[in-house]
């Protein structure tokens, strides 16, 4: 008897990543004369970056900006960049296409506004993440960056708190508790994006009702790794695959496996998910 495949309700590319990838592909389709680059890897997914390389779309970063020429195009990925990086790219004479996710741009606007009003900015997130590095540039790199508030001591009397879009709400709550005890004038923005939360909730719900859960995406993607951890907690038979070639044979051979769940990180494209589904269906 065939196996039932259950796709998690929210899985795969989020709005911001899809927009950045579609923008890049559309530009490449329209313009095959000039060089097209992405500033850093467009998404944390080797299949996508290899696909772009095959199309002649390469990466640049701050150390390789000198290879840009007037007329080249540089695409800013969904994580965004700081105003200083934007200026450095502008100086090269290349055309800039800004595919910063609108949710990230909204954080930039808040940081800039409150910094100019004299507020100390606190960003709840990972100091090494490109999104946080870019956001910090909107307050002249003066933000206090914290995961849980443990490095917050003496505070300014006016504080503005924002969060990395993929941060856990519990961390924002912890920082809010600490700050509001130390300062009377704190404005707090919950800038956590729903896409992450929705994917995690769907992965959990699906993992609970299947015999095997397949998590599709790059091992270097933190949001996909988190989906695997959640799946594993709710379904012991959870596996993490980058693409269809990594699906193990035992899934097909074990007759006790009747329901197979699938989820995928926000940086996993549909075509990789579809290949996984096709491979599972081919063994029906
Ligand atoms: S996770 Fe949210 S904020 Fe980040 S790119 Fe996707 S939609 Fe935008």
Structure confidence by residue, pLDDT tens digits, 228-238: 999 999 999 99
Residue spans in the chain of domains classed CATH 3.40.50.11270: 15-100
The verdict on whether 131 is a catalytic residue reads: yes
Instruction: Write down the CATH number for the domain with range 15-100.
Output: 3.40.50.11270
DSSP labels for 29-77?
HH--SS-EEEES-SSS-HHHHHHHHHTT-EEE-GGGGGG--TT-EEEE-
For residue 1, pLDDT beyond 70: no
Third-level CATH fold of 103-192: Cobalt-precorrin-4 Transmethylase; domain 1 (3.40.1010)
Q: Alpha-carbon distance 115 to 122, whole Å?
A: 10
Question: DSSP string covering 229-280, please?
Answer: HHHHHH-SSEEEESSGGG--THHHH-TT--EEEEEE-TT--HHHHHHHHHHH
The per-residue pLDDT for range 163-181, each reduced to its tens digit, is 999 888 889 999 999 999 9
CATH 3.40.1010.20, the chain: domain bounds: 4-12+195-281, 103-192
Name the residue with the closest Cα to ligand 1, atom 7. Answer: 16
pLDDT per residue as tens digits for the range 58-88: 999 999 999 999 989 999 999 999 999 999 9
Tell me which residue has its CA closest to atom 2 in ligand 1.
193
Q: How far is the CA of 166 from the centre of ligand 1 (A)?
A: 8
CB of 17 shorter than 6 A to ligand 1: yes
Pocket perturbation via mutation, ligand 1, pick of 10, 11, 15 by most ligand atoms within 8 A of CB: 15
- Mean per-residue pLDDT for 35-63? 93
Q: Is the pLDDT of residue 8 over 90?
A: yes
The pLDDT score that the predictor gives to residue 284 is 62
Fold of 4-12+195-281: Cobalt-precorrin-4 Transmethylase; domain 1 (3.40.1010)
């Amino acid at each position: 008897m065939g196996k039932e495949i259950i796709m998690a309700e929210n899985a795969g590319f989020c709005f911001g990543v899809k927009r950045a990838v579609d923008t890049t592909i559309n530009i490449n389709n329209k313009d095959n004369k000039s060089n097209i680059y992405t500033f850093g890897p467009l998404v944390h997914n080797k299949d996508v970056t290899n696909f772009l390389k095959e199309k002649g779309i390469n990466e640049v970063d701050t150390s390789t900006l000198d290879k840009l020429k007037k007329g080249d195009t540089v695409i800013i990925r969904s994580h965004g960049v700081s105003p200083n990086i934007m200026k450095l790219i502008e100086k090269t004479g290349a055309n800039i296409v800004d595919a910063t996710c609108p949710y990230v741009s909204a954080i930039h606007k808040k940081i800039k506004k409150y910094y100019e009003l004299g507020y100390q900015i606190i960003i709840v997130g990972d100091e090494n993440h490109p999104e946080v590095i870019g956001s910090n540039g909107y307050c002249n790199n003066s933000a206090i960056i914290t995961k849980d508030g443990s490095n917050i001591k003496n505070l300014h009397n006016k504080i503005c708190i924002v969060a990395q879009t993929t941060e856990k709400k519990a961390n924002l709550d912890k920082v809010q508790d600490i700050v509001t005890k130390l300062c009377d004038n704190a404005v707090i923005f919950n800038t956590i994006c729903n896409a992450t939360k929705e994917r995690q909730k769907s992965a959990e719900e699906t993992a609970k009702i299947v015999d095997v859960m397949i998590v599709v995406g790059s091992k270097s993607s933190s949001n996909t790794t988190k989906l695997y951890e959640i799946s594993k907690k709710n379904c012991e038979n959870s596996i993490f695959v980058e693409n269809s070639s990594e699906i193990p044979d035992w899934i097909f051979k074990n007759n006790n496996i009747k329901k197979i769940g699938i989820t995928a990180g926000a940086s996993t494209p549909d075509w990789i998910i579809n290949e996984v589904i096709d491979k599972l269906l081919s063994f029906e």
